[in-house]
Amino acid sequence: MAKKPNSDRRRPGPIEWAPVRGEYKVPGGKLVAVEFEVRGGAMVDVRLSGDFFLEPPGALGRIERSVAGASPDASLAAVSEQVAAGVADDDVLVGFDARAVAIAVRRALGKSSTWADHAFELIHDGPRSPAMHMALDQVYAESLGAGRRGPTLRVWQWSASAVVIGSYQSLRNEVDLAAAQRHGVSVVRRISGGGAMFVEPGNTITYSLVVPGSLVDGLSFEESYEFLDRWVVEALCDLGIAAVYQPINDIASPAGKIAGAAQRRLADGTVLHHVTMAYDIDPAKMSDVLRIGREKLSDKGTTSAAKRVDPLRSQTGMTREAVIDALVTSFASKHRLDWSAPRPEELAAAEDLVRTKFATTAWTARIA
């Protein structure tokens, strides 16, 4: 992370920064590192390095000079444009690009962060109602944005079966309400987009990641899905599953879909990223309750939602609790993770949201 400006904020004048350094590893590419100072309100003494390939050698100086003079308040897009302007038509950049340099610059300034910059809180408490889970996601995201809680990994326990529909889905188009009532399945709407998920206690593994926007700074929505799912894909591979990220929001194996992700970015930049994984599944019940249109399945090569999914129980032979323990252990081996618990004021806020929003027909059927 960058050092704080060495100027006194009470005095007028340009901000100055001591030497700072930022790094960015391009997914599937090379490492880009940039060092510079800020004097007179602009970046100076810019030095670019890394294990990338660049021809001709003189292109290095042009790229460095393109960064020099930029404001430390410049956006990622603005810095990317400046770097691109410094690249000649016949320059060859291999393993990196102008955007990678800009992300490294943002990291040097502390406006873009890495996993190592954050300590995560783990919340894994007892079963809660579907509506309460929807509310807790919103509460924890708002708490991070307000500085009341740090980045959080939350593992859910469901107290009842439910269909969780995306923020923009039509209720009647996604759920057979008569079948849901017959099976004792409630319907709740989450604040993130994406498709409907069928969940049952004991048959589902669901988790949320609540992270600051700086962690995904410079990443597109699709890139941020892959970035935030990477740890769990690696954890599943460690369990012997040939898991892969499948754009835009699925985790799958050759046997079928394992999980689906959804994401919401709050106005302050906070990112709520949650994933539902099928541990076991009642395919007949799921097919009876969910309305899966032919158009949605047309690019999946199948005519049944149940045939798309292959649960973790069949792929690992492990208990649900053992799979969860393995996932949490894998996360903790890569990132700082400390146990935490819901606070009384958070539970009270969530209960109020259940009453005024998530358990109301006005919200659940807001797109009928």
Identify the architecture of domain 115-364 in CATH: 2-Layer Sandwich (3.30)
State the Cα–Cα distance between residues 285 and 306, nearest whole angstrom: 10
State the Cα–Cα distance between residues 53 and 68, nearest whole angstrom: 21
Instruction: Mention every residue, 6+ apart, whose C-beta is less than 8 A from residue 337.
Output: 119, 120, 121, 122, 153, 328, 331
pLDDT in tens, 294-317: 334 444 443 444 446 678 999 999
Question: What CATH number should be reported for the domain whose range is 17-108?
Answer: 3.30.390.50
What count of other Cβ atoms lies within 10 Å of the Cβ of residue 223?
A: 14
So what's the pLDDT on residue 16? 79
Residues paired with 154 in a beta bridge: 123, 208
Judge contact between 257 and 310, C-beta under 8 A: yes
User: Among 286, 288, 307, 289, which Cα is nearest to 297's?
Assistant: 307
User: Among 258, 231, 238, 263, which Cα is nearest to 246's?
Assistant: 258
State the Cα–Cα distance between residues 368 and 366, nearest whole angstrom: 6
So what's the pLDDT on residue 235? 97
So what's the pLDDT on residue 221? 86
Q: In which residue are the tokens 């048959």 written?
A: 203
Strands 336-339 and 119-123: parallel
Domain range annotation of the chain = 17-108, 115-364
DSSP conformational letter for 139: H
Q: How far is CA 319 from CA 204, 240, 279, 327, in A?
A: 12, 15, 9, 13
Kindly report the pTM of this predicted structure. Answer: 0.85
| pLDDT-flagged residues of the chain (< 70) | 1-15, 293-309
SS3 string, 19-66, reads: EEEEEEECCCCCEEEEEEEEECCEEEEEEEEECCEEECCCHHHHHHHH
So what's the pLDDT on residue 3? 41
Q: Are domains 17-108 and 115-364 of this chain identical in fold?
A: no
Judge contact between 34 and 46, C-beta under 8 A: yes
Phi/psi of residue 176, nearest 5 degrees: -85, 100
State the Cα–Cα distance between residues 21 and 109, nearest whole angstrom: 8
Strand order in the sheet with 186-189: 186-189, 162-165, 197-199
User: Dihedral of CA 161/367/177/351: which sign?
Assistant: positive
